[in-house]
Structure 1
Amino acid sequence: MPASNEKAATASEDEDLTPTRVGAEIRDLRKAKRLTIKELSLATSLSIGHLSEIERGIASPGIKTLHDIAKALGVTIGWFLHNAEGGDPDERDYIVRAGNRRTLRFSSGITDELLSPNLRGQLELLMSRFPPGSTEAGTPYTHNGEEAGLILAGSLELWIGEQSFTLREGDSFSFPSTTPHRYRNPGSVETVVVWAITPPSY
């Protein structure tokens, strides 16, 4: 992530990026966030036709365009540059090396690291780090699919519907994501959780 962002920062606004892989990353994230191409068009002021060409690898976005798309999707441009250039072409669709994870950092202090190589399959795997006292959502929320997790370190307070559970290192859980849920780290040390979510909703 830092290396990709550094490349982007030194590029000119008119510099083209590898179109096919970048376009696929944009399409995958947009679909994972359940956004239509029309909604992304409205959020970026880019035409539907141009966005479609970018996603299909026909057009290559400049840095400014990529910044606009990234902002609308809630990520940095490093998300799209991940594995877009370089790396082992034989493994980048299947393997995520420990030092090359895509990361989202939230205002709550919670950090999500994507462990899946991409979001185009039926399963999303990620690792969340909760600082002491941090909360993922103030109110319960729902989405399609199912999710499961394993507590690697610390403790997690988990609300599923009207029930509340406190999980500790080694405990695991699973529930339908259509049931209202939220999470919190009630402890004084960092909580680390590995999640499996289907379909991807990153």
Structure 2
Amino acid sequence: MKNKRPQAPSVDASATTTSTDADVALGSAIRSARIERRLSLSSVAANTGISVGLLSQIERGISSPSVRVLRGICKELDVPLDYLIEASDRRQDETGRIIRKSDRRVVNFGSKKMLKEFLTTSETCELQLMEIWLEPGGGSGEQPYTHEGEECGVVLEGRMELYVDGERYLLGEGDSFQFDSTLPHKFQNLAETPTRILWVTTPAVW
């Protein structure tokens, strides 16, 4: 599935646009601090005097904040500058090995009533780990699909109907599965509540 290309966020002259590992680590630390305090992008941006687009760029490591902007962010988040620097240093050391919950990449499949949270990155590994959330009736779609590789997983909550190569399987909490991805397959939530699945594919496809 192809996602619509997002509109380019506005850029503030107080930040550069050269991305480095340090920028990514600092942005990740800022985003985590903001989420921990349950603050929105718009409120932090407004109270800091920058655009939402710029703050989003900073959190994604696309832009480097000026000292003035960084101080404003610290004031709004009520954290000392040293806290963000130390947190960003830890994040930089974790690059390629650790993904914090607040840093997960999330894809919402809309009409399919399915949400995927990626626990690994496709850029650095062949193995891909996802946490999939299915709303009641949600799933991969009516038509089975195929791709290269293998996949496996375990139902953490709820109930799932899984079709593999024409065979139908009903899985409940704690049940696991494994199959060759070249076989036609599809899946759907059968519960009246959300179903949550820990799903592994190889190679990474997202």
- TM value normalised by structure 2: 0.60
Q: What is the count of residue pairs matched by the alignment?
A: 140
1:170 alignment partner, SS class: coil
Q: How far has the Cα of 1:136 moved from its partner?
A: 1.2
Letter aligned with residue 18 of structure 1: S
Mapped contact 2:106–2:116 kept (Cα < 8 A): yes
The equivalent of 1:81 in structure 2 is 60
Q: How far apart, CA to CA, are the structure 1 residues paired with 2:62 and 2:155?
A: 29
The equivalent of 1:189 in structure 2 is 193
The equivalent of 1:154 in structure 2 is 158
Moved more, 121-130 or 91-100: 91-100
Q: How far apart, CA to CA, are the structure 2 residues paired with 1:126 and 1:174?
A: 15
2:94 alignment partner, SS class: coil
Matched, 1:93 2:102: no
Q: How far has the Cα of 1:128 moved from its partner?
A: 0.4
1:189 alignment partner, SS class: coil
Q: How far has the Cα of 1:9 moved from its partner?
A: 4.0
Bigger-Rg structure (1/2) = 2
Mapped contact 1:150–1:172 kept (Cα < 8 A): yes
Q: How far has the Cα of 1:138 moved from its partner?
A: 1.5
Mapped contact 1:160–1:181 kept (Cα < 8 A): yes
| CA offsets 1:40-90 (integer angstroms, 9 cap, x no match) | xxxxxxxxxxxxxxxxxxxxxxxxxxxxxxxxxxxxx98x93799784110
Query: Alignment partner for residue 182 of structure 2, among 138, 162, 178?
Result: 178
Q: How far apart, CA to CA, are the structure 2 residues paired with 1:21 and 1:115?
A: 21
Letter aligned with residue 177 of structure 1: S
Letter aligned with residue 126 of structure 1: M
Q: Structure 1 residues 84 and 177 mapped into 2: Cα distance closer, same or farther (>3 Å)?
A: farther
Letter aligned with residue 170 of structure 1: G
Mapped contact 1:154–1:168 kept (Cα < 8 A): yes
- TM value normalised by structure 1: 0.61
Q: How far has the Cα of 1:113 moved from its partner?
A: 0.3
Letter aligned with residue 205 of structure 2: S
2:102 alignment partner, SS class: helix
The equivalent of 2:19 in structure 1 is 18
Q: Give the gaps of 5 or more residues in structure 2.
A: 1-7, 24-55, 65-86
Q: Structure 1 residues 83 and 178 mapped into 2: Cα distance closer, same or farther (>3 Å)?
A: farther
1:89 alignment partner, SS class: helix
The equivalent of 1:103 in structure 2 is 106
Q: Give the gaps of 5 or more residues in structure 1.
A: 1-7, 23-76
Q: How far apart, CA to CA, are the structure 2 residues paired with 1:144 and 1:163?
A: 19
Tell me the percent identity.
Answer: 30
Q: Structure 1 residues 84 and 100 mapped into 2: Cα distance closer, same or farther (>3 Å)?
A: farther
What's the RMSD between the two structures over aligned residues? Answer: 3.1
